[in-house]
Amino acid sequence: MPPEKSVFNMSKFKKTAVVGAGAWGSALSIILSKNVPEVSVWARESEVVDSVKSARENAMFLPGIKIPENVEFSNDPGRVLGGAELVVWVMPIQYLGSTAKLFAEHIRGGSIMVNAGKGIEIGTWRRPSAILRDTVAQASSCGSIMGPNIAFEVALGNYAEAVVALDSHLDSVEVSKTFSTPNFKVRPTDDVVGVEIGAALKNIVALAAGFCDGMGLGANTKAIVMARGFQEIYRAAAALGAWSDSFVKESAVLGDVLTTCMSRDSRNRRTGEELGRGLSAEEAKAKLNGRVCAGLETIQICRMFENMHHVKLPIMTALCDLSEGKLSRSECLERMLAS
């Protein structure tokens, strides 16, 4: 596949910042570099900064992919965030609030906040946009981007799509342009709730899909579990006010669920597979070598929907009980199929 041509000046932004230098944060910095003159990435690990400076490669999280020259990696949040008109947050949701609060002093007034992580804050049950709105008061708008996006494939330039939802329609349109390239198409939407709930709950459905793989149940059973899981996402999102047509019209929403459930690179699917083979939740997480399984991190959200909104999510709650050691594998499967 020929390399993508630069499409500078499509975006009004002169500088964007990416907070988080993992595989997805690095891949998004490459995407943004095609439309924005200056992209800065905050990395927690000094090894990542050194790797990019010396070899133009994030050897720790995205090996073998060249980082463009107009992308700078730094451990200094002031240097990364200073002057940025668009800030993209790429980190586990459980750390989003504390990091945003710590970094807020470096963010200019009127900047746009886009979350690229997936999940909901356990305990407070805040969606990512609410976390950013609470911690970065000077932001002009807040929201999230999601889609069927395996970081390495996007970084390679393979075709992918996503959807971005902000609490300002005009900002959603502008940000969608800023992320869009010939091989990465991003559509704007105003359904922030639907996008964020879909992004959070699809990880739990992927655990269920992986569980089916680990149990060796075959394609028929897995397909039923995935379909019912998508119905549970739909019901949960509707309870919080999501637009019902978003789950039909936006291919990126359904695509995200399918990719996470089927891809061998999906950490959620792989972790579910280990659960299906009989490993405990802690043993399954240890297999990730320090990387985060978002589905297990946020799986208790199903309790919130059942207790606060009276929405039944049998597949998700069965997986939650399994992860907490309350069910055997056979009991978990029986509950999922009885839904």
Q: What are phi and psi of 86, to 5 degrees?
A: -135, 125
CA distance 113 to 105: 14
Positive or negative, the CA dihedral 53, 59, 61, 63 is: positive
Catalytic pick among 118, 202, 222, 285: 202
Whether 53 sits among the annotated catalytic residues: the reply is: no
Q: Which residues are catalytic?
A: 202
